Every structure is written in C-alpha cells, then in structure tokens.
Amino acid sequence: EAGVAQSPRYKIIEKRQSVAFWCNPISGHATLYWYQQILGQGPKLLIQFQNNGVVDDSQLPKDRFSAERLKGVDSTLKIQPAKLEDSAVYLCASRLVRGAGELFFGEGSRLTVL
Amino acid sequence: GQQLNQSPQSMFIQEGEDVSMNCTSSSIFNTWLWYKQDPGEGPVLLIALYKAGELTSNGRLTAQFGITRKDSFLNISASIPSDVGIYFCAGQLSRGSQGNLIFGKGTKLSVKP
C-alpha cells in the first residue's frame, strides 16, 4: 500500500517569495492534516480537512498561509509571502477516519527561507 | 493551548540497555500514538493505544495507555544503534479535539555501541 506522498522534498526561497507544497494521502483516507515542524520541536497542526471541507484551521496564519483540498483527495499548502520564521518541515498526514485510528505521515517538505 | 509534557528531553545510553520515556498531561485522552523520526524523514508510527490500561508491544517496543488516561509510556528493551532517533508521543483529547492530535516535544535517543 502506498504511503502519504509529498513534494517537493526540499525548497529554498527568499523571503517574500511564494511556495506551494503538494500532498497525496493514502488512498481512501478521508482526513488530511498539514503540520509544521520547526527544528527541535514536535509537529504543530496547521489545518485539518475532512474530505474537501476544512474541519480546523484555527492555527493557520491565514494572512500568508492557505490550503485547499478541492476534490477531497490531494491537497496543496501555499505560503505567500514567506517569512524567515516559516523555515520548517511541512508534514502532511492522513487518517482513514476522522478522530479515530492511526495517523500516517509523509516524508515532509523542508522549506528554507533566506 | 493544550500541552503534552514529554520526558526525558534526551537520553544517552549504552547499546543493550533498556529505555523508558513518557508523556503526561492534565487532560484526559482517548488515543495515544508513539512515533519515531529519523533525520530528514517524516514520523513513523510505532504503536497505537486506544484504551486505558492497554499494553501493546511491537518487537522490542512496549507502550502503555495510563489508567488515569492522562499519560503514556514507551519502553525499548535491549537498545541497538538503529534505535537512534527522536521519539514523539501524540495524544487525542477525549473531548473537543476535533480529531486533532497534540504532539510532545520529543525524546532524542542516542545509543553508544
């Protein structure tokens, strides 16, 4: 069974530029999450989708971050404009059922903002 | 926001020794997940726990869901060099979680051959 796929693995941009990350969850998983992991810390939730609807985006910095999951399968996370403090690993994760069961992560997209 | 206290923050042990780490909270959880993360990789699920008192093993790893539902521990027996990495606990609140998981700050494990 294929796992959670993410791309790109690495991205280096200058501040004020924009960047987009893509995620394809495990087939059949209704719930998709984006996490931000800053070096030396645990993952921090940015947004949770249930199918193509947003369940929780309370921790998403909406002035610069946006995310969508239009067809309820793959998802895109965008940052525009990027700040130095956005340097982190962006992890996508999926779960078969919202609120229950195991959560599986992709390998992450490492962003460096110069 | 809700926090999980994960300890210890780091451990330096000799190969062959046993390891124990834990996560605690003031809130009640209905799910505990334990992950291992290697450098440059995403977290990999080790063990999932869903009931208070549940004790689950995965090879040399054993994890327990605390009876109070506010804590969990992970033990690694007879550590080997490939156990090196960062271990995270993640918990889901019994109420008001919206299906979200809270992560601890991680325990960094170093193993000396």
Q: Which of B101, B102, B105, B107 to mutate to test the interface with A (most CBs of A within 10 A)?
A: B101
State the average pLDDT for chain B: 94
With pLDDT > 90 as the criterion, what percentage of chain B qualifies?
Answer: 85
More confidently predicted of B110 and B113: B110
Q: Is the pLDDT of residue B77 over 70?
A: yes
Chain A and chain B share a number of CB contacts under 8 A equal to: 59
Asked if the C-beta of B113 comes within 8 angstroms of chain A's C-beta atoms, the answer is: no
Residues of B in contact with A1 (CB under 8 A): none
The pLDDT, as a whole number, for residue A59 is 93
Could A31 and B99 be called an inter-chain contact, meaning their C-beta atoms sit closer than 8 Å? yes
What is the rounded average pLDDT of the residues B85-98? 89
pLDDT at B99 over 90: no
pLDDT given for residue B2 in this prediction: 65
Task: State yes or no: pLDDT of B97 exceeds 80.
Answer: no
pLDDT, residue B13, reads 95
Contacting A residues, span 9-48, partner chain B, CB-CB under 8 Å: 31, 33, 40-45, 48
Q: Do A42 and B41 touch (CB under 8 A)?
A: no
Mean pLDDT within A84-90: 97
What is the per-residue pLDDT for A99? Answer: 81
Contacts for A61 with CB less than 8 Å, ≥ 6 apart: none
Between B107 and B100, name the one with better pLDDT: B107
Percent of chain B whose predicted confidence (pLDDT) is above 70: 98
Write down the pLDDT at residue B98: 81
Average pLDDT over every residue of B63-80: 97
Whether B12 has a pLDDT exceeding 80, the answer reads yes
Chain A residues 57-86 within an 8 A CB cutoff of chain B:
none
Among A75, A79, A54, CA closest to A64: A79
Beta carbons of A45 and B101 less than 8 Å apart: yes
- Interatomic CA distance for residues A18 and A29, integer angstroms: 29
Find chain B residues with C-beta within 8 A of A45's C-beta. Answer: 100-101
Q: What is the pLDDT of residue A27?
A: 94
Q: What pLDDT is attached to residue B113? A: 86
- Report CA dihedral (B57, B47, B75, B58) to the nearest 10 degrees: 30
> In DSSP terms, which residues pair with B75 in a beta bridge?
B20, B62
Of the residues B51, B100, B103, the best mutation for testing chain A's interface (the one with the most A CB atoms within 10 Å of its CB) is B100
For B44-75, the DSSP string reads: EEEEEE-STT-EEEETTEEEEE-TTSSEEEEE
Q: Is the pLDDT reported for residue B110 higher than 80? A: yes
Interface test with chain A among B5, B30, B37, by most A beta carbons within 10 Å: B37
